[in-house]
Structure 1
Amino acid sequence: MSTSREYVEELLAKADIRINGDRAWDMQVHDETVFDQALSRGNLGLGESYMARLWDAESLDQFFFQLLRSGIQDEVNPARLIFHSLKSRVFNLQSKSKAWEVGQHHYDMGNDLYQSMLDERMVYTCGYWEKAKDVDEAQRHKLELCCKKLGLKPGMRVLDIGCGWGSFMQYAAENYGVECVGVTISKEQVALGKERCKGLPVEFRLQDYRELDEQFDRVISLGMFEHVGQKNYDDYMDVALRCTKEDGLFLLHTIGKNVSDTAADPWISKYIFPNGEIPSISQIGTALEEKFVCEDLHNFGADYDKTLMAWFENFDKAWPSIKSQFDDEFYRMWKYYLLSCAGAFRARDIQLWQWVLSPKGRVGGYLRPQL
């Protein structure tokens, strides 16, 4: 019978990863308990072992690219993870009472971290890199593309579900002359967002999306659907529908997974996004039925790799000036988060979709605009 190390070594060989090898993506093991941790608890064990300095990889993003592209993760199905999977299916982890947890845990950690990591507009979603040279330009192009897809015109009233620090609302108000209302569950985002959007026709509300009940010419949601949870997809689409005028448009921007029958990543759920859940294309499609017509579906998931790498570069560069607020374990946790996700998008294990939806279908059709 092979040891845990031998079994892991055999698995990693299928991904062209060597233990204590000399390539950037090879796994440097400092404590052999990491093998049992990874086999018994999957990515939760692997991530916690990394945070505890039990192993390293010179290029963590490339390590995860090799790992996920090979598909070997499907060969490890730890029994301990079954409870995590069942929990997300049985319980509503994104109910009204639990929905505020991610705001407190993640988005309210302090604006200094996000100001140092993100672009100048503080866009915390995937940039659009087709013609961009850096993350500032990629995010500006993404915001412009969203405005064009929605066909914004002066005087329109726009709802932003999960508005963050108001980057889209600020851009749309400044460049398209629209009025915006944004909802978020983060007190820190509201405070800084109001400051950044001072003097603009932009309103921030600290509010759960389920409480919305008024109509807008256009509705947008950038990177918030990942916090909704499959038990609430129908309710979410009901809210979006009742808030979108009959001749309006709704743009849904969300990370997506390739297979429906998978649970949320336990390490990400514990340390980064509590109760988060990535939807599949069929889950979104089912939630849309009898509510919206899909006018356009655009996948630019590979662009999230570049976005995350840019965020890590900014974070790493700014660490000396912000580390007094955190500790070394936080640095390794945040590095693991950003670079493991970059590797996952590079491997095309997860996607980024923009859906343009209309309540009844656009007469004459819809043509995706170009930058």
Structure 2
Amino acid sequence: AGDVSGAGLASVEHPLLGAAVELPDGGGVILTGRLSLRAQPWLADHVVDGRVLFPGTGFVELALRAGDETGLQQIEELTLAVPLVLPETGAIAMRVRVSAPDANGRAELDIYSRDRDGEEWIRHATGVLTAAAVEPAWDAAHWPPAGAVALDLAGFYDGTGYGPTFQGVTAAWRVSDDVFAEVTLPERVRDVTAFGIHPALLDAVLHGAAFLESAEPGTLLPYAWTGVGLHASGAATVRVRLSGSASAGIGIAVADGTGGPVATVGTLHLRAPEHLDRVNSLYRVEWSVPVPAVEAGEVRFVELVGGEDVVASAHALAARALEVVREPDARVVFVTRGVVSGADPAAAVVWGLVRSAQTEFPGRFRLVDVEGG
């Protein structure tokens, strides 16, 4: 909240983004924002595997707004690489970077986050924006469509973990191999005028994929989008057509309550959620892990400490560690001093080499880093 122009920024006027800055010499545009369960409480209803997860459709909304800022109407492609788990307290800083368009009018898009100053930015999504408009290809004036067979929604959201905001499917039908659905947002999140398409609404649009041919049981999350275009903004109730299959890719057409086009997705690929407990382990090492005691004489200890010449020490320590791990049936504890604190960067090569050896010979090698004497 507040006037960002005093800091040399442009206001974005979006619920998930606060400001934009144009980079010099045609370097593109960066949009910034902050996410939190306090500022966007509706996000707390998107729970997957017990974690509050920023919906994949939220990244689509960020990309669409970035396209508006740069005059690029279509998300040609968008791939979601790393999930964004939202903390119970505190805020997540967001950055959306759009490069300058190339000779073909295509601009690269990257979406990043970090949860505190000083930490590295995590890139969650990459994609390409283009100026070519996506043309709607569905006339939704007749509703429900002729020959539609109603689908049973009893217990449809049981076991999903989704809260009321993300339980938007109110009716569904099948016509041949296509699935049609009616999706609506609850009254408490009906302030949608500042969104292109509200992420909770678009997320619920995808839920009808559970009725498509070859759909896997359980929760599926969006992974790769192509040919995404927005035709109208501010919808709170929509009509949906889903075609294709969960295995080969899904085509999506979205219209408003009168049949007017709202959005089109050329192809969407879904996948099962990865184990979210492993998300943070991609970026952090856990220290002070208890090691079980061993009988005297079962193992030997090899201490490897670097000298003042870091490069020469790194080569020497790596050669010595390799020599030890090659010994037949060796059971060794490698001891370093100050790798964690950065006091002995040369000895860090020992950790890299021995970790590789541990994967080949589980249980034979241990790594211990100690401080001081």
TM-score normalised over the length of structure 2: 0.21
> In proportion to residue count, which structure has more helix?
1
Higher relative contact order (CA 8 A, sep 6+): 1
Name the structure where strand makes up a greater proportion of residues: 2
* Structure label with greater radius of gyration: 2
Relative to the length of structure 1, the TM-score reads 0.21
